[in-house]
Amino acid sequence: MSFYFDAFEHRTPPAPIRYSPRRELLWQYLAVICLALGGWYIAWRWSSSLNYRALWYSVPLAVAETGAYIGLVLFTINLWKTRDRPVTPAPKGINECLAEPLVRNRPISVSIFITTYNEDPELVRLSIRDALRVRYPHRIKLRTYVLDDGGREAMRAVAAQEGVGYLTRDSNAGFKAGNLRNALERTGGDFIVICDADTRLFPTFLERTLGYFRDAKMAWVQTPQWFFDLPQGQTLTEALGARLGRPGRLAGKLIERMFGEMRIGEDPFVNDPQMFYDVILRRRNWANAAFCCGAASVHRREAVMEAALRSFAADVERNATATLKQWRKFSGEKGSTELLGESIRSEAASAAEFTPYRFHVSEDIYTSLILHGDRERGWKSYFHPHVESKMLSPQDLLAWTVQRFKYAGGSLDIFLRDSALLRPGLTLPQRLMYASTLWSYLGGLWNLIFLIAPMVYFATGIAPVEAYSIEFAIHILPFLLMTEVAFMVGTWGVPGYRSKASYLSFFAVNLRAIWTVLRGKKIGFTVTPKELQSDRHPKLVIPQIAVILLTVGTAAYALIATQLGISHHSPAGLLSNLCWGSVNVLALAGIVRAALRKPGAVEAPAYVETPRVASTNRAAPAQSLSERLAELAMRLGLAVDAREPSLGKLQCHLRWRADTCFVLLASRNGLSRAPPSCSRRLPQRWAFSDRTEMTRSAQIPIRVATVR
């Protein structure tokens, strides 16, 4: 069976960003200056720049700026320093991972859990096969299980065919956490590897992660989630060459030689997680605050079960105490209630759920909080910066929205409903790291104000500050400039603009998640689609389109009104807000463009089965080249008259494994040489000839096909 990502299987993950003590010191120096300038600006905004004639406009903007500055402080603390551990040799036996060794040492036992619900069984088969290829330099007891919450016979059959365990249950209570609990109750293993249906482990996964568990207090190790199917797009040279021919290629080469490689259509949803894993999560290691992200992580069973027991006991005691307090209040009884208390505790224990992984849509971060808060045991976590697996990314805006809403809603639900930041046992650095996560999901509130503010000025001419004066520029420009410079150094050269633009365009999903949590609604667990979608989703970006149109419309009105002399816009205010509005429009345009993109026709190769080369021993006549091309064109939905033997010229853009587009120019008499617009000659294995027609009998990935 073929999948859209078959053409990307050759891709290899990037190495972790190299640590530089000098660069870290420079980052810390610039960050201090940045925060000082930011504090100076915020203090000035509240003390000297509020527009008292329009406090309805000025105060909300100042509040939004203050909220964004608090987020900047927390983000700076998050990125402050990097503390990587060396990759430790894999332990030979379980005693090397225990504080109190066993009398008789034995090999380590590991269970690999592949969780699935409604994903294609053939997709899960790929994950199973890669799990079976995991190696270890010493004796090990390794067992792989498929955890099927869909209870499908087809999935059971795949598991049996691949020789792995198959576990299911009668209900889906607790979502993925309930699925994992069911597996923990029915399996063994000193360590647990958690995989999603599309998680493809590399053979080195265990030998490069289990060494960290030589530290007896190490509870889990998280590895990066690397999406190997991200669209790479085209270079500017290729894009201009395809549209403008030789002049376009020359112009593209000149621009890229001056400014570096530029890619068009690359990762339209900004799914590349390098910023999160290689920068944000990696720099939480020093605070022992790298939380679990679910897939591609390995856990010590003892830690998970012990934390669950402690949490269960705490929940029982809390519920029993609350019930006993209510009973005393209504009964007026103040005497000894020891027997009654024991009875209430027994009932509370019967009603409570014992959950190794908390029943929650964000069970991974919830479990992380429980383990980090267990100060008595002092459990540790670590983010291993090397990629040890690959998985699939959301391929359309619907999948992207489902995933982002689940992340935002689940995290906000934990922090706002369960008072996670006040959980006893967390250290101050851990609280600050988790606070950074919470604060980032509240950002939709001030991002909305930042998007509306320029429109208000364009429409009314009312400024949110006392005046767009030299004093305003002196306070804000150094802060903005130093912020860009500091974080350019602080993020080690990982491109930051696209992440910031994505964060701003995320405002609608973010606000919906906040509103859902505040209303007390439960965040449902929706599986992120793993299949390639071919639909466009313009309805999902209506808020972004509205902001773009309103910003452009009000800006046009302000410019026209200024020219006619009928407005109160100042030149400095107009210029400032035009720059501000332009940044907003450019940031939102990316997600709108992605929503209108059709993945199946642009990014992913569509596989077309081609018959094998005709043999001279066969009675059936072989298809001519023209007939073969006509059939191919019809499969691609091209308006071609297959009855006409002379097809003219059929131009097919084929996407090769190296993601280079080749142009085949075919006619009735065979394939001519590649046209001048082709940047590279066709590989020999794809050559045509009159005698053999097509020498490559495998599947051909077709990128675009047009008739000339």
More confident residue, 704 or 140: 140
Residue 95 has pLDDT above 80, yes or no: yes
The predicted pLDDT at position 341 comes to: 65
> Over the stretch 594-641, which tens digit does the pLDDT of each residue have?
888 665 443 443 333 333 333 333 333 444 444 554 554 444 444 444
Instruction: Please report the pLDDT score of residue 78 as a whole number.
Output: 96
pLDDT tens readout for residues 308-333: 777 777 777 777 777 777 777 776 66
State the first-to-last Cα distance of the chain, in angstroms, to the nearest integer.
33
What pLDDT was estimated at residue 605?
36
Q: At 330, list the tokens.
A: 């209504």
pLDDT at res. 676:
38
Cα separation, 532 vs 399, in Å, equals 10
Residue pair 237/249 in contact by the 8 Å Cβ criterion: yes
* pLDDT at res. 529: 57
Domain residue extents for the chain: 37-81+432-600, 105-230+269-393, 236-263, 609-707
Q: Beta-carbon neighbour count of residue 345 at 10 Å? A: 18
Per-residue pLDDT band at 243 (split at 50, 70, 90): confident
Q: Count Cβ atoms within 10 A of the Cβ of residue 519 and give its class: 0-12 exposed, 13-18 middle, 19 or more buried.
A: exposed
Query: How far is residue 93 from each of residues 98, 570, 663, measured CA to CA in Å?
Result: 10, 74, 56
Average pLDDT over residues 355-380: 79
Mean per-residue pLDDT of the chain: 80
> What's the confidence (pLDDT) of residue 652?
37
Query: Residue 527: its pLDDT value, please?
Result: 58
Confidence of residue 189 (pLDDT cuts 50, 70, 90): very high
Residue 81 and residue 24 in contact, taking contact as beta carbons nearer than 8 Å:
yes
pLDDT digits (tens, 9 = 90+) for 476-534: 999 999 999 999 999 886 877 778 888 898 899 999 999 998 888 876 655 555 555 55
CB distance 434 to 48 below 8 Å:
no
- Rounded to the nearest 10 degrees, the angle between the axes of helix 507-518 and helix 542-564 is 120
Distance CA 448, CA 271 (A): 22
pLDDT at 534: 55
Instruction: Supply the pTM of this predicted model.
Output: 0.78
384 pLDDT higher than 80: yes
Question: What totals of helices (H) and strands (E) does the chain contain, helices first?
Answer: 21, 18
> By mean pLDDT, which of 142-151, 336-345, 352-361, 695-704 is the weakest?
695-704
As a whole number, mean pLDDT of residues 126-146 equals 96
Q: Buried (b) or exposed (e) across 74-91, using 16+ Cβ within 10 A?
A: bbbbbbbebeeeeebebb
pLDDT tens figures, 261-303: 677 777 777 888 889 999 999 999 999 999 999 899 999 999 9
Please name the amino acid found at residue 355.
Answer: T
Mean pLDDT of 166-179: 85
For residue range 661-706, what is the model confidence (pLDDT) as tens digits?
333 333 333 433 333 333 333 333 333 333 333 333 333 333 333 3
- Whether residue 22 has pLDDT greater than 50: yes
**pLDDT recorded at residue 324:** 72
Is residue 213 pLDDT above 60, yes or no?
A: yes
What mean pLDDT do residues 413-425 have? Answer: 82
Is-contact 70 35, C-beta < 8 A?
A: no
Which has more pLDDT, 109 or 243?
109
pLDDT tens-digit series, residues 24-71: 999 999 999 999 999 999 999 999 999 999 999 999 999 999 999 999
Closest CA to 444 of 516, 344, 492: 516
Kindly calculate the radius of gyration of the chain based on its CA atoms and give it in whole angstroms.
30
| CATH code of the domain occupying 105-230+269-393 | 3.90.550.10
Rounded Cα distance, 2 and 6, in Å: 7
Strands 661-667 and 670-671 come out as antiparallel
CB within 8 Å of 183: residues ≥ 6 apart: 111, 113, 145, 147, 167
